[in-house]
Structure 1
Amino acid sequence: MTSALGLLRGPRVVLLDYGSGNLHSASRALAAAGAEVEITADPEAVAAADGLVVPGVGAFAACMDGLVSVDGPSLIADRLAASRPVLGICVGHQVLFTSGVEHGVASTGCQIYPGTVERLQARRLPHIGWNTVQPGAGSRLFDQVADERFYFVHSYAVREAAGLPGDAVVTWAEHDGDRFVAAVEWGALASTQFHPEKSGEAGARLLHNWVDSLVPAG
């Protein structure tokens, strides 16, 4: 009986706890998508998980400080080196890029994606609310939700993606005439500028898509 139940369990997902992020709503949303969720920064748990989610709210520099305090950049890099899935959300998406510039001050990111997070060139900031996106060709995250709206809360984003690898799937959005990167899918790494856990049925479907792509170990 135990063995049969083990075969039916959902993928194990670690929600990285580094002092920044909407942990509880993200945990509930991931559990509803079929994952067994643990909130921790324990290196062994992070390494063993079927999927790692990096959340983030607030300022780029503060999130990076928190991430560095739990050795987050190395934990993320080690998983990606082993082709183990990682999902970044909001500032957890932003910190995956080379750097972020806020109030004229540049901070170093995880340097996985090439690119700079900068202030949007829009009259109305912050960008708060629902917005459509334009998924890149071959996107798996946006399967069945390509025409839906997602919930954004931000004033900063990546506005140029020329340096991203050619095999990266880039999804775009636009706010007040300014175009920015809304999501990236590249190998085992995926990330979204919006909050799927706050995006209703569309966000739930997107998280299902990601969780369903995970292969439980054992």
Structure 2
Amino acid sequence: MNNAQAESPIAVIDYGAGNLRSVVRALTKVGAALRVTADAAEVLAAPAVVLPGVGATLDTMNSLERLGLVAAIRNSVGAGKPFLGICVGMQVLCEQSEEFGPHPCLGVVGGSVRRLPGGQKVPQIGWNQLRYAPTTAAHPLFAGIPDGSDFYFVHSYYCDLADPAIVAATTDYGTAFPSALLRDNLAAVQFHPEKSGRWGLQLLSNFIHWAAH
């Protein structure tokens, strides 16, 4: 596992997400230099950014707006720095969400956040497989992680992405939903790498390596 570090600390955005500590612990384990912050200026100054998340998109957006982080996130993605969204941190990148009634999200990518379909237990809690898009295995974020690997999910909603070209992986749970997206410097995953054992740590290590180059 590669323990390359960025020259300056990666910003891990602290807006009160319940998985913040476990994300920080996992990133530290694979050698990351981190700055946990709710300061927009520190997010903008960082060479790379991680947006963790659990819970609801509405609560997340309310917290990001209250802390003045919405523009910082949009500008960080627009500036071309490596950016990783995790779980709800992926969902809020969409234009809107239907969770607790329709509301706007960050609008970094086109699409809507929708509830998983009926016919199976919701939320999905547990291990499930990724199925890569044709070019995903060659991307630095997924280096060394085989197609079909299992990752740990906890979610009731998913991103219905408008552009199929940015769907890096799908997972089946009543429907084939996007479980990872890639667009230039932007990456996001619906699963929890910090809870996904070997492959989750590999993905986080890959992100650090990507951020450092």
Instruction: Determine which structure has greater relative contact order: mean sequence separation of CA pairs < 8 Å that are 6+ residues apart, divided by chain length.
Output: 2
Q: Which consecutive residues of structure 2, in runs of 5 or more, have no partner in the other structure?
A: none
CA distance in structure 2 between the partners assigned to 1:148 and 1:68 by the alignment: 35
1:172, 1:182 within 8 Å by CA — same for their partners in 2? Answer: yes
CA distance in structure 2 between the partners assigned to 1:122 and 1:165 by the alignment: 23
Identify the match of residue 168 of structure 2 among 167, 170, 178: 170
Partner of 1:152: 153
SS at match of 1:92: helix
Partner of 2:38: 41
How many Å apart are 1:179 and its aligned residue? Answer: 1.3
Partner of 2:91: 94
2:26, 2:201 within 8 Å by CA — same for their partners in 1? Answer: yes
Partner of 1:137: 134
1:135, 1:142 within 8 Å by CA — same for their partners in 2? Answer: no
Deviations 1:154-207 (A, max 9, x none): 01102x43x2274x24210011x3111101011111000000000000100011
Cα–Cα, structure 1 residues 157 and 9, in superposed 2: closer, same or farther, change >3 Å? Answer: closer
What are the residue-to-residue correspondences of 1:112-127 with 2, within 5 Å? Answer: 112-123=108-119, 124-127=121-124
What are the residue-to-residue correspondences of 1:1-218 with 2, within 5 Å? Answer: 10-11=5-6, 12-103=9-100, 105-123=101-119, 124-139=121-136, 140=139, 141-145=141-145, 146-158=147-159, 160-161=160-161, 163-164=162-163, 166=165, 168-175=166-173, 177-215=174-212
SS at match of 1:34: coil
TM-score by length of 1: 0.88
What is the letter of the counterpart of residue 164 of structure 1? Answer: D
SS at match of 2:95: strand
Cα–Cα, structure 1 residues 67 and 181, in superposed 2: closer, same or farther, change >3 Å? Answer: same
Superposition RMSD on alpha carbons, in Å?
Answer: 1.7
1:56, 1:91 within 8 Å by CA — same for their partners in 2? Answer: yes
CA distance in structure 2 between the partners assigned to 1:165 and 1:79 by the alignment: 23
CA distance in structure 2 between the partners assigned to 1:192 and 1:61 by the alignment: 19
How many Å apart are 1:138 and its aligned residue? Answer: 2.2
CA distance in structure 1 between the partners assigned to 2:111 and 2:183 by the alignment: 14
1:61, 1:107 within 8 Å by CA — same for their partners in 2? Answer: yes
Q: Which consecutive residues of structure 1, in runs of 5 or more, have no partner in the other structure?
A: 1-7
1:132, 1:148 within 8 Å by CA — same for their partners in 2? Answer: yes
1:137, 1:169 within 8 Å by CA — same for their partners in 2? Answer: no
TM-score by length of 2: 0.90
What is the letter of the counterpart of residue 173 of structure 1? Answer: T
SS at match of 2:43: helix
Q: Highest CA radius of gyration, 1 or 2?
A: 1
CA distance in structure 2 between the partners assigned to 1:169 and 1:125 by the alignment: 23
Identity fraction in percent: 37
